[in-house]
Amino acid sequence: MSGALDLDGRVAVVTGGTRGVGAGIARALLRAGARVVVCARRPPDEPVTADGRTACFRPVDVRRPAAVQPLFDELASAFGRLDLLVNNAGGAPFRLLEDADAERHARVLELNLTAPLTVSLAAHRVMRRQPAGGCVLMIGSVSGTRPSPGTAAYGAAKAGLEHLARTMAVEWAPAVRVNTLVLGMVRTESAHLHYGDTAGVAAVARTVPAGRLAEPDEIGDAVVFLASDRASYITGASLLVHGGGERPAFLAAARAHPSAPSAPSVTTFEEP
């Protein structure tokens, strides 16, 4: 690990850090030397560890402001500092808009947008008092940059989260940096719930230019970079971590047609 990416002694909080992407982020931070606290409603099945070091666990429901602020006050007292917050907690079931009422969709917005705002405000109250300030990272999604049928409220929340981060970056500068990681598909322990069996995951992976899904620890590596001194001038930014995104569907459709050329042709447009 390069010294510039060394987070030795820094204190990081990862919401939803007990499994999946959050656990990958926590492991990467532990390897970089940070003292890591993972938060969730329930404790992990196994402690989150890396390189012989273990993340601390604190129970909290990030949707409850009355529980969030006392947690950050307790962490500030226990560790004496707070350097990094990663707003990772979130998610949503597949649900078409017409299959639920507005109240149910609003709960998705609450978890994926309002809760990160609540947690960020609590962290900022600690970070703003520190000479070195701090860093807040939002875990966004490509669902917030394209249509998301079946997860419309989730996509809307992630779009709002990215905008919220940009505004925070301006209001809280220069003491606190705020950035967003815009994630594509990640291979987690629950990938089968979204993409099916092994063959389904492989088929989905072929739609990604990189040829595979991301691993949770790779997301963690991007977090370590943005939390490090190497990223000291980066704030209000969105880092795409999606393996190149998604191949345009029209290319596959064209290649599947019998009259299609072997390679896409250049299309020219004439003025009317």
pLDDT of amino acid 268: 42
Cα gap 133→125, rounded to integer Å? 10
Structure confidence at residue 256 (pLDDT): 80
- Can you give the pLDDT at residue 101? 97
pLDDT at 251: 79
What is the pLDDT averaged over residues 44-51?
96
Q: What angle do CA 187, 245, 266 make, to 5 degrees?
A: 145
* Residue pLDDT, tens place only, 147-193: 999 999 999 999 999 999 999 999 999 999 999 999 999 988 777 66
Please give the structure tokens belonging to residue 92. Answer: 């949503």
Give the pLDDT mean for 210-228: 96
| Catalytic site includes residue 154 | yes
105-120 pLDDT tens trace: 999 999 999 999 999 9
- Write down the pLDDT at residue 207: 86
Q: Which amino acid is at 30?
A: L
pLDDT at 253: 81
CA-based diameter of the chain, in Å? 70
Name the pLDDT band for 2 (thresholds 50, 70, 90).
very low
Q: pLDDT averaged over the chain?
A: 92
Average pLDDT over residues 236-261: 84
pTM of the model: 0.90
Q: Are 171 and 229 in contact (CB under 8 A)?
A: no
Half-sphere exposure of 153 (CA within 13 A, CB side): 25
Amino acid 201 reads V
pLDDT computed for residue 117 by the predictor:
98
Comparing CA positions, the residue from 19, 60, 12 lying closest to residue 36 is: 12
Report pLDDT for 262: 55
Please tell me which residue in 72, 79, 154, 172 is annotated as part of the active site. Answer: 154
Instruction: Tell me what pLDDT residue 136 has.
Output: 98
- To the nearest whole percent, how much of the chain has pLDDT over 90? 81
What Rg value do the Cα atoms of the chain yield, rounded? 20
Please check the confidence at residue 267 and state whether its pLDDT lies above 50.
no
**CA separation for the pair 75, 82 (Å, rounded):** 8
- The mean per-residue pLDDT over the stretch 210-237 comes to 97
- Overall average pLDDT of the 249-271 stretch: 62
How many other CB atoms sit within 10 Å of the CB of residue 188? 20
Secondary structure of the chain as H, E, C letters: CCHHHCCCCCEEEEECCCCHHHHHHHHHHHHCCCEEEEEECCCCCCCCEECCEECEEEECCCCCHHHHHHHHHHHHHHHCCCCEEEECCCCCCCCCHHHCCHHHHHHHHHHHHHHHHHHHHHHHHHHCCCCCCEEEEEEEEHHHCCCCCCCHHHHHHHHHHHHHHHHHHHHCCCCEEEEEEEECCECCCCHHHHHCCHHHHHHHHCCCCCCCCECHHHHHHHHHHHHCHHHCCCCCCEEEECCCCCCCHHHHHHHHCCCCCCCCCCCCCCCC
Give the pLDDT band (50/70/90) at residue 196. Answer: confident
